[in-house]
Amino acid sequence: MVELTTVKPRLAGAHERRVRAEALRRHREEVRARGAGSAGELSYLRAQLRVAASLTTRLAAAREPREMASQVVDELHECFSFYLAAIQQLHDDGTLRLVAARGRLAAVMEEFLLIEQPVASGVNGRVARSGVTALVGDTRSDPDYIVRDPGTDPRSELSVPIVVDGSVWGVLNIEGAERDAFAEVDVVLVEAVAASLGSALHRARLVEELEGAFSTTLALLTSTVEAKDDYTASHGEDVAELAERVAVRMALTESDARDVRLAAMLHDIGKIAVPSEILLKPGPLNDEEWVTMRGHAAAGGELVARIEAFAHLAPAVRASHERWDGEGYPDGLVREKIPLAARIIAACDTYDAIVTDRPYRPARTGGEAREELERVAASQLDPAVVAALIDELQA
């Protein structure tokens, strides 16, 4: 989730990348003009490796394959202004499908073959089948090159396999508008970038497997609450599913949306500490009972904070019962001081509670629930979250 304090450093980073990109383009032109062994070749190679190292660091923070692929083609395009930088993923049905692309050719490529192509054909197909880099100085002389459109087709191409855990995951493809646009130093760069991407994809796969184990742990935790309160367990699942959808609608990354879902599943875990006679009371709670009940938010946050895999979710779990106007609990946080994940959970929690039967009142309709959400927007709930929630419900 982007904080305002990160804007200035990012702007500075963008300026530095522009300066670096211009220097790289000058180096590249010198190497192409003077050939291998020129004085500028070593300098260019060093600059390329710095690009690869920087990109490796950025990939380490990414979680989703599409996000990683976009970072790679963005960086390559920004630094070298390639005619096309594209990444295709090899699927089980033997098809290479486009994941991300940048460059002048990217604007027209949807009309042609690069969106989807069989692995049995094309230069990229050859690379995916063999796992061997292809440096094509003139596409018109390569028997595997597939002509798409003479007016926009590249004249040279560099395709490198992306290997994940010993198997080809896909292809990183660089194209040039003129013949012999790429040299061996470009091969070094693109192979280094592909290797970094492969490592990042492998790490993401391992993390996904680890999260499966986390989900098992999560199920065990929520089943403990279910033993005390059937409503809380099923309610948590419903709120989690809806909260993730709202997070996506609010343009959170897939990784952040997943965290919202996990925090929503855990947001009532502190009810383990609430006595059953209070938790299951059929009528309204008295003041003393409310104090005990409200203690579950802080208890849940503390419990989640002690589980290393979920510790980053603890602030959202603790704040899931805060109110936009500061009248919530346990800390009386107000407006944007409440974590966004907690604001999303609070709105979805409110909606689900309204449309669910409770011991002390019957469920209300979805339309009535939406009216209630609009009524409490800007007092109990974040109005922007309420708007996104209502849009999602209507969709």
**What sign does the dihedral 144-147-151-152 (CA atoms) show?**
negative
Residues 191, 295 within the same domain: no
Domain end position, chosen among 170, 204, 238: 204
Instruction: Write out the DSSP string of 87-105.
Output: EEEE-TTSEEEEEEEESGG
**Does residue 220 lie within any of the structural domains?**
no
**Does residue 147 lie within any of the structural domains?**
yes
**Does residue 214 lie within any of the structural domains?**
no
Residues 168, 264 within the same domain: no
Residues 50, 128 within the same domain: yes
What's the CATH code of the domain at 186?
3.30.450.40
**Does residue 217 lie within any of the structural domains?**
no
Q: Which domain holds residue 256?
A: 227-394
Residues 318, 259 within the same domain: yes
How confident is the model at residue 5, as a pLDDT? 27
Residues 200, 255 within the same domain: no
Residues 245, 378 within the same domain: yes
Distance CA 68, CA 257 (A): 17
**Does residue 213 lie within any of the structural domains?**
no
How confident is the model at residue 159, as a pLDDT? 96
Give the chain's domain count. Answer: 2
**Does residue 146 lie within any of the structural domains?**
yes
Three-state DSSP state, 281: coil
Distance CA 243, CA 392 (A): 10
Residues 183, 241 within the same domain: no
**Does residue 193 lie within any of the structural domains?**
yes
CB 79 within 8 A of CB 24: yes
Distance CA 202, CA 65 (A): 10
How confident is the model at residue 83, as a pLDDT? 87
The position carrying tokens 């709670």 is 285
Q: Which two tokens stand for residue 273?
A: 């500490």
Residues 242, 193 within the same domain: no
Low-confidence ranges of the chain (pLDDT < 70): 1-48, 107-114, 210-236, 357-361
Residues 242, 320 within the same domain: yes
Residues 312, 184 within the same domain: no
**What sign does the dihedral 262-263-268-272 (CA atoms) show?**
positive
Residues 267, 129 within the same domain: no
Domain end position, chosen among 173, 204, 235: 204
Residues 181, 310 within the same domain: no
**Closest-CA residue to 172 (of 389, 164, 348):** 164
What's the CATH code of the domain at 272?
1.10.3210.10
How confident is the model at residue 113, as a pLDDT? 44
**Does residue 343 lie within any of the structural domains?**
yes
Q: What is the per-residue pLDDT across 116-141, written as a single tens digit (0 to 9) for each?
A: 889 999 999 999 999 999 999 999 99
